[in-house]
Structure 1
Amino acid sequence: MAMETEVATTTPQLALSDTDINWDRLDKTRFHIIGAILFTAQSALLHPTAVVKTRMQVASSGLSNMKGVSVFTHILKSDGIPGIFRGFGTSAIGSMPGRVLALTSLEMSKDIVLKHTQGSDIPEASRIGLANGVAGMVSNLVSCVYFVPLDVICQRLMVQGLPGTSSCRGPFDVIRRVVHAEGFRGLYRGFGLTAVTQSPASALWWGSYGAAQHIIWRSLGYKDDMDMKPSHVEMVTVQATAGMVAGACSSVITTPIDTVKTRLQVMDNYGSGRPSVLKTTRTLLNEDGWWGFYRGFGPRFLNMSLYGTTMIVTYELIKRLSVRPSLSSFG
């Protein structure tokens, strides 16, 4: 019994406030440097599922009807390891400035909403969910300006060689071809669809994550004014669970939109005129019916569930590591 008591008292404990660290408590330079390193590592782990998903959404009916594992095996056999990492270099390097923009707007927006709703009659779970939701939407709208062209470039690199797509020598060749064919607006194919649809989806994800985490903590008996503090293991488990649920739900809602957006951004064989959402939707319906909108759902569901879990655990870890020493409750 004495041994158990000693182990329990040496388990790292954290204040409940450390489960939701706000912008004004962070060392911004450390936050972005650590974020760049850890998020790049996370992206490397999940990139193959994004390649499989994208190829299933864009490919002819033969490949699109294959299961995700079969498509993954097919890519490995035909292109080897480099095939499942097509576009990763461009994505990893290109994402860094956009990530700074996205994370800064996310945290600043959340902080503003939390401060303006403090002391209101809104229930705490709803207030946190609202702040996270608004922050997610603002962050998505701001970062779309940067990430949509990057998506166009990376996805074209992922699917090159498939029917209806062009073969390119690298990211700069993709840019040259797109700009030559359509001007700079070609790099923003799918921008309107992304901004209008993904921003509410981002609000849903962040809002549900913030509210779910708050509810889980309260259901476990934790409150801000209590001496009882969660351990590192408890904190990671709760945050991972909330992130996984948010990611899984989001994938179900957004896969049809993502399929249309992906095809709109990469396909070149729609005949005369610039591709549009209507043309892309009609072509998809003619090819596979309504089920066609869920092409690549398995890999996308896996990608978003894993992404939701790993992203939020990584993100919360980055924030804990970036708390200014004078404001940290660690140790």
Structure 2
Amino acid sequence: MAGDAAKDLLSGTVGGVAQLICGHPFDTIKVKLQSQPVPFAGQAPRYAGAMDAVRQTIAAEGPRGLYKGMGAPLATVAALNAVLFTARGQMETLVRTEPGIPLSVRQQVVCGAGAGVAVSMLACPTELIKCRLQAQSALASGEAATAAAVATAGTTTGSTVVAAAIKYNGPIDVAKHVLKSEGGIRGLFKGLVPTLAREVPGNAVMFGVYEALKQFMAGGRDTSGLSRGALLTSGGLAGAAFWLAVYPTDVVKSVIQVDDFRHPKYSGSIQAFRKIAASEGIKGLYKGFGPAMARSVPANAACFLAYEITRSSL
């Protein structure tokens, strides 16, 4: 069992690095679209769409801007994917009824859900840091536009608060600020509820779909002879299934994690969901969906293929 855990640990690490390199630029655009403020009536949104966000990011920050916030997940990608795949491996041991017999799709769904609980504990603070860095340019622009609109309208009531944008110099700076000014360790776990609500069902679906596709292509539970093309296809579609299942939850998580600590717009996950739905409709719950789906297929295809190749070589 210890040997299997070590193999999952290393294989998950390699898979995570492959996933991050392929997917981070898409993730940056997704978060920028999710976190841009709702424009005033007659005011154009900060970004007209995904391609506009890419153009503005490159124009303002260069190509490196697409990899902004990568330090936090890069520093923890080993741990995140090690936890995910190791937890799934341990869950497989628990649910397996016959030694040496591949698990059913239903059993893999259970394993994915259990792995989702474990990975949420590490994903929440990591993604809070990442989202703060990715979103700060969009939020700063939005706050400037809001301030201008308020000044033009002559609004002076206390009901409108425009907070000064906090500028972070990197992942460590975000962590220091949160620990000092946002409630200590508890501040780093802001958004834990929607993180769990994303990771548990999302990973249940992802690992279930991955196993179902592999077994379908193999014609049975023994999938050891599948080609790399089949593994790429299964991994890419499984990643897409993850986001199809839980995307609105990810939007809620992102807006909560970048919300102003001093003047919060949202009191919790349910209130955030209702407020977004009421002000922006169903489209508001799918902001950044295009980049997320565009990212999920190649990133997860790379992740699962790298995991399988590494695992089989150990």
TM-score of the superposed pair, with normalisation by structure 2: 0.80
- 1:98–1:42 CA distance, 2 compared to 1 (3 A): closer
Query: Would you say the 8 A contact 2:27–2:292 is kept in 1?
Result: yes
Q: Counterparts of 1:77 and 1:205 in 2: how far apart (Å)?
A: 35
Query: Would you say the 8 A contact 1:166–1:268 is kept in 2?
Result: no
Q: Counterparts of 1:272 and 1:41 in 2: how far apart (Å)?
A: 36
Give 1:314 deviation, angstroms.
1.4
Residue among 81, 87, 104 paired with 1:128: 104
Taking every aligned residue pair, what percent have the same amino acid on both sides? 21
Query: Would you say the 8 A contact 2:231–2:305 is kept in 1?
Result: yes
Match of 1:291 in 2: 283
State the SS of the aligned residue for 2:93.
helix
Residue among 270, 274, 295 paired with 1:278: 270
Give 1:275 deviation, angstroms.
3.7
Match of 2:32 in 1: 55
- 1:305–1:63 CA distance, 2 compared to 1 (3 A): farther
Match of 2:168 in 1: 168
Worse-matched range after superposition: 300-309 or 68-77: 300-309
Residue 229 of structure 2 corresponds to residue 237 of structure 1: yes
The one-letter amino acid of 2:72's match is T
Match of 1:193 in 2: 194
Give 1:309 deviation, angstroms.
1.6
- 1:112–1:181 CA distance, 2 compared to 1 (3 A): closer
Match of 1:100 in 2: 82
State the SS of the aligned residue for 1:182.
coil
Q: Counterparts of 2:201 and 2:250 in 1: how far apart (Å)?
A: 13
Q: Counterparts of 1:273 and 1:240 in 2: how far apart (Å)?
A: 41
Give 1:42 deviation, angstroms.
3.3
Q: Counterparts of 1:37 and 1:308 in 2: how far apart (Å)?
A: 12
Q: Counterparts of 1:197 and 1:249 in 2: how far apart (Å)?
A: 12
Q: Counterparts of 2:64 and 2:273 in 1: how far apart (Å)?
A: 31
Q: Counterparts of 2:23 and 2:197 in 1: how far apart (Å)?
A: 25
Give 1:45 deviation, angstroms.
2.2
Any residues of structure 2 matched to 1:1-331 within 5 Å, and which?
Answer: 26=4, 28=6, 32-33=9-10, 35-37=12-14, 39-61=16-38, 62-63=44-45, 66-114=48-96, 116=97, 127-163=103-139, 166-179=166-179, 180-218=181-219, 230=225, 235-268=227-260, 271=263, 275-322=267-314
Q: Counterparts of 1:142 and 1:46 in 2: how far apart (Å)?
A: 22
The one-letter amino acid of 1:244's match is G
Query: Would you say the 8 A contact 1:141–1:199 is kept in 2?
Result: yes
- 1:63–1:43 CA distance, 2 compared to 1 (3 A): farther
- 1:25–1:237 CA distance, 2 compared to 1 (3 A): farther
Q: Counterparts of 2:279 and 2:99 in 1: how far apart (Å)?
A: 52
Give 1:102 deviation, angstroms.
2.2
The one-letter amino acid of 2:37's match is S
The one-letter amino acid of 1:47's match is H
Q: Counterparts of 2:232 and 2:186 in 1: how far apart (Å)?
A: 38
Give 1:168 deviation, angstroms.
0.9
Uncovered stretches (5+) of structure 1, i.e. residues with no partner: 1-22, 323-331
Uncovered stretches (5+) of structure 2, i.e. residues with no partner: 39-43, 144-164
Q: Counterparts of 2:172 and 2:310 in 1: how far apart (Å)?
A: 32
Which structure has the larger Rg? 1
Q: Counterparts of 2:109 and 2:275 in 1: how far apart (Å)?
A: 34
TM-score of the superposed pair, with normalisation by structure 1: 0.76
CA RMSD of aligned residues (A): 2.8
Match of 2:151 in 1: none
